[in-house]
Structure 1
Amino acid sequence: MIPARYQHVLFGLILSGLMSFVVSGIATARTVGWIDGFVGLWMSNWLPSWAVAFPTVLVVAPIARRLVARLVRPESQTQR
């Protein structure tokens, strides 16, 4: 098992991998359509995308967490 202190890195790896996989698949399909060799082309587009997405997620996630914390009211202050 991976130590808990690396949880944010593993989360970023999985999230960036899945998101870049889906987005690159959509972009590839919209660009070339469902052609022969589509999967190979998709994979060749996805891997470089993931290489950019992973470090981007690691940098942007803390900023997004701070922004969300400012936009969300703590649970104790909500009306019931």
Structure 2
Amino acid sequence: MSGNPPPSALKKLPPGSARFLMPLVLSVFMSAIVSAVATATSVGLGSDFVVTWPNAWGASWIVAFPSLLLLLPVVRRIVAWMVAQP
């Protein structure tokens, strides 16, 4: 038996942290996908991709995370304006 606590016993972050955590996680995934597509288009899927992509991902994430922090409230307002509220 391992000494790890069951997942339900792990302490969660406070609700206010979701405001930063959601853009963080989203920026990691989206910058990874977009930089992978751009890198594959540029250099192909060979050994150059493996060497080039991590740098492209890092540069993309550095731009993506602060951009999401700034733009997400604006996007939420635009979507709220476009969608009927319950």
Which of the pair has the greater relative contact order for Cα pairs under 8 Å at 6+ separation? 1
Match of 1:52 among 55, 63, 73: 63
Q: Name the % identity.
A: 41
Unmatched 5+ residue regions in structure 1? 76-80
Moved over 4 A (4+): none
Within 5 A, what are the aligned runs for 1:1-80?
A: 1-75=12-86
The CA RMSD measured in Å over matched residues stands at 1.1
TM-score by length of 1: 0.87
Post-superposition CA distance 1:26-46 (Å, at most 9, x none): 000000112214123101110
**Partner-residue secondary structure (3-state), 1:34:** coil
Paired residue total? 75
- What SS does the corresponding residue of 1:73 show, helix, strand or coil? coil
TM normalised by structure 2 equals 0.81
